[in-house]
Amino acid sequence: MAKEEGYRSRAAYKLKQMDERFHFFRGARYVLDIGAAPGGWLQVVSEAVGEDGLVVGVDLRPIEYLELGNVETIVGDILDEEIMDEIRELLPGSVDVVLSDLSPNISGVWDVDQFRQIDLATMALKVSQALLRRDGWFVVKVFMGSEYEAYLKEVKAAYRKVNIVKPMASRKGSAEVYLVARYLRRRRRAR
């Protein structure tokens, strides 16, 4: 179905289903997509923010050119300060939505894969805290497993509202869920 409708991945439907429920793209102009390859989410967001919006996609792998005027892509590691500077140059101020569909290279050893995925999700959380506006949305993929509860607690400490979602487009046997968070909590100032 994704190919028939011109999307690069079926993950596009996961994002569409979550947005239908939470409407995180309503009024959004600036969106950051971390782990954006192959570009299916970029296509969905491009449609949602329209010509006046801007979507920045970052991935370690190059993203094949999308003929979309409101999409910019960056090849690199989100933890690299130069990449963060490049993102800040493209996006004017705080962003409305931070998306992360990051997944590690699957090794087949579940505990290792789950730990690596939670590590990526933790990185995405830090990026969201640095770039997201206070009432913005953070949508992140998480693998269920031994590290899940601790990560969920971290997200709840950072955001006032957190929902756990398994989109219909996710495979039934998949251990992935998405956290849809909103309203960054104020950071306490150092004394």
Active site members? 141
CB atoms within 10 A of CB 66: 19
* 3-state SS, one letter per residue, for 29-91: CEEEEECCCCCHHHHHHHHHHCCCCEEEEEECCCCCCCCCCCEEEEECCCCCHHHHHHHHHHC
The structure tokens 């995405």 sit at 124
Distance CA 15, CA 178 (A): 10
Sign of CA dihedral 103, 121, 44, 77: negative
Distance CA 95, CA 133 (A): 6
Distance CA 121, CA 155 (A): 10
Q: Which residues pair with 99 in a beta bridge?
A: 33, 139
Structure tokens at 100: 């992360």
